[in-house]
Amino acid sequence: MKDFPSIPTAPRALPLIGHVVPLLRDPLAFLNSLPALGELVRVRLGPLSMIVICDPELTRRALLDDRVFDKGGPLYDRLREVIGDGVVSCPHQAHRRLRRLSQPAFHQARLPDYARAMTGCVQETTDSWSPGQVLDVPAEMMTTSSRIITATLFSDALPSTAHGRLTDDVTTVVKSLYQRMFLIPPLDRLPTPGNRAHLAARARLHGTVERVIAERRADGADYGDLLSALVAAHDPEDDRPGMSGAEITDTVVSFVLAGIESTAATLSSALDLVARHPEVEQALHAEVDAVLGGAPATHADLPRLPLTERVITETLRLRPPGWFFTRVVTADTQLGGHLLPAGTSVAYSPYLIHHRPDIYPDPEAFSPDRWAAPHPQPPRHAFLPFAAGARKCIGDSFSMIEATLALATIAARWRLEHVPGHRGRLAAAVTLELRDLRMRARPRTSVPAAALRSPEGAP
Ligand code: HEM
């Protein structure tokens, strides 16, 4: 066991299991307590040590040096069981090529088409609501975000029955991954209900994706979707053809896992936070009324929805869905004056950085206006919902567009109110998500007729 004599250890480690209890019971409070101890803090997971980076500048340095701080450590060891060596989890050596091959799928020129599909999926959700209906908001947002990923990845290739199953399988896999990080072998292989559900969902998810890919490769047509872009991709810096079948499968499963739950969690949190802050709600309604006049939002509307975007940005600060990530050190290195030998597990946390009061005054307050003048803006590397450097989220623009369009489209027609007793509970699994959030959908009647825009979408 590495003991890192110069790095403080978090208090209250239990013999044998270390800090597993606070990490499972209240990981957010535990993380927020660490910066008081130092820039780097040692946390124990059973016999293993993990170094948590608590300082934004050191976090940036680790993220920018992705050769030395490579994907690995407890989270990625578990993720690899699901997504193999796809672009999310592959080591540095394989990453540049996979990223070059995946990048065209997210080219700026493709975004307006994706945006059209996104708005269609959000409308499908909101059209199914009736006045006064109580909504299970996280489930509604999971279905919407899952429809969006499948519409933009596969066009309409997935039958609706398979779509529901895919959403359930993603939910099961994502929910079990965090607990599996702390399951020391052979506990992860015991036939417990949790392990069995995880393995079955993982196998079905792969089966669904492999079937769609096989059909698409046999067909060969360009559907203008993410999958067509992956199938067609070739790397000018490499004489091999594009991705192998296995690489495409791992990449698609990665997009499905990385893209559905994170955006759904962002949207559920945004709807919850807006409803808790009437002054923000009023301002949001005023903006969408003026710009959309009750119509769904389009890609062209985005520049005129700055407050809607700030609400999403502030939601991503306060409750970043990706709140904790691990790395492994591949060569002896120094960080913050401490020696980290090769093999050290390191973690960084957007949540921890976003809640530091020295960077974000009153960090627990939901305040979208902190992102507008005259408020001083935080240093760029202190806002990390999509990470930074070469491993930065490939879907960052995609999901900002998705979340902004979805929030505006919902707010244009509906006001959501909390249902007493079901006001949502923040849970830190692999993503930071809300559980038990039920809200009553009230149609908005105050959309001013004068604000209704002309049919062709002119303001
Ligand atoms: C609000 C929504 C999202 C958030 C908050 C988010 C956050 C992140 C973060 C923090 C990382 C870096 C992980 C690390 O440092 O270990 C990441 C990576 C990644 N994300 Fe996202 N993500 C979102 C949506 C999406 C979507 C919609 C897609 C795809 C459709 C996607 C695909 C990926 C991929 C492929 C990577 C790996 C990039 C690489 O290593 O080159 N994400 N995401």
Let me know whether 373 and 395 are in one domain: no
DSSP-derived pairing of the beta strands 48-53 and 40-45: antiparallel
Answer whether 89 contacts ligand 1 (Cβ < 6 A).
Answer: no
| Domain total of the chain | 2
DSSP letters along 68-123, please? Answer: TEEE-HHHHHHHHHHHTTSTTTS-HHHHHHHHHHHGGGG-GGGHHHHHHHHHHHHH
Let me know whether 307 and 181 are in one domain: yes
Which atom of ligand 1 is least distant from the CA of 398? 27
Let me know whether 9 and 124 are in one domain: no
Distance CA 101, CA 161 (A): 31
Which of 331, 354, 384 corresponds to the end of one domain? 384
Let me know whether 371 and 405 are in one domain: no
How far does residue 255's CA lie from ligand 1's centre (Å)?
A: 8
How far does residue 417's CA lie from ligand 1's centre (Å)?
A: 30
Answer whether 258 contacts ligand 1 (Cβ < 6 A).
Answer: yes
Answer whether 387 contacts ligand 1 (Cβ < 6 A).
Answer: yes
How far does residue 263's CA lie from ligand 1's centre (Å)?
A: 10
Residue-by-residue pLDDT tens, the chain, 459 positions? 466 888 999 988 888 788 888 888 899 999 999 999 999 999 988 778 899 999 999 999 999 999 999 999 888 888 888 888 889 999 999 999 999 999 988 999 999 999 999 999 999 999 999 999 999 999 999 999 999 998 998 886 777 777 888 888 988 888 888 778 777 677 778 888 888 999 999 999 999 889 888 888 888 788 888 888 888 888 777 666 788 888 899 999 999 988 999 999 999 999 999 999 999 999 999 999 999 999 999 999 999 999 999 999 999 999 999 999 999 999 999 999 999 999 999 999 999 999 999 999 999 999 999 999 999 899 888 999 999 999 999 999 999 999 999 999 999 999 999 999 999 999 998 899 999 999 999 999 765 544 444 433 333
Are 265 and 218 a contacting pair, CB within 8 Å? Answer: no
Answer whether 324 contacts ligand 1 (Cβ < 6 A).
Answer: no
Which of 350, 384, 418 corresponds to the end of one domain? 384
Residue for token digits 């036939």? 191
Torsion of CA 120, 121, 122, 126, to 10 degrees: 100
SS3 of 202-219: HHHHHHHHHHHHHHHHHH
Distance CA 167, CA 254 (A): 14
Considering only CA atoms, which residue is closest to atom 27 of ligand 1? Answer: 259
> Burial level of 115, CB count in 10 A (0-12/13-18/19+)?
buried
Could you report how far apart the first and last alpha carbons of the chain are, in Å?
A: 64
How far does residue 258's CA lie from ligand 1's centre (Å)?
A: 6
Answer whether 398 contacts ligand 1 (Cβ < 6 A).
Answer: yes
Which atom of ligand 1 is least distant from the CA of 153? 30
Token reading at 168: 């359930």
Structural domain containing residue 252: 93-314+389-459
Which of 344, 364, 384 corresponds to the end of one domain? 384
Are 295 and 359 a contacting pair, CB within 8 Å? Answer: no
DSSP-derived pairing of the beta strands 48-53 and 345-348: parallel
Let me know whether 212 and 264 are in one domain: yes
C-beta atoms surrounding 422 within 10 Å: 15
What CATH number corresponds to the domain at position 172? 1.10.630.10
Give the torsion sign (CA, 188, 190, 196, 201). Answer: positive
How far does residue 428's CA lie from ligand 1's centre (Å)?
A: 17
Let me know whether 360 and 397 are in one domain: no
Let me know whether 308 and 376 are in one domain: no
How far does residue 407's CA lie from ligand 1's centre (Å)?
A: 20
Torsion of CA 449, 451, 452, 458, to 10 degrees: 160
Answer whether 212 contacts ligand 1 (Cβ < 6 A).
Answer: no
Nearest to 203 by CA among 173, 225, 178: 173
**What confidence score (pLDDT) does residue 355 get?**
97
Let me know whether 194 and 56 are in one domain: no
Let me know whether 345 and 442 are in one domain: no
Let me know whether 232 and 292 are in one domain: yes
How far does residue 322's CA lie from ligand 1's centre (Å)?
A: 8
Token reading at 103: 């990048």
Strand partners, 18: 14, 45
Residues with Cβ < 8 Å from 445, sequence gap 6 or more? none
Torsion of CA 358, 364, 370, 375, to 10 degrees: -30
Let me know whether 256 and 208 are in one domain: yes
**What confidence score (pLDDT) does residue 447 get?**
56
Distance CA 342, CA 330 (A): 5
Let me know whether 204 and 280 are in one domain: yes
Answer whether 346 contacts ligand 1 (Cβ < 6 A).
Answer: no
Answer whether 266 contacts ligand 1 (Cβ < 6 A).
Answer: yes
Token reading at 456: 């062709």
Answer whether 152 contacts ligand 1 (Cβ < 6 A).
Answer: no
How far does residue 353's CA lie from ligand 1's centre (Å)?
A: 18
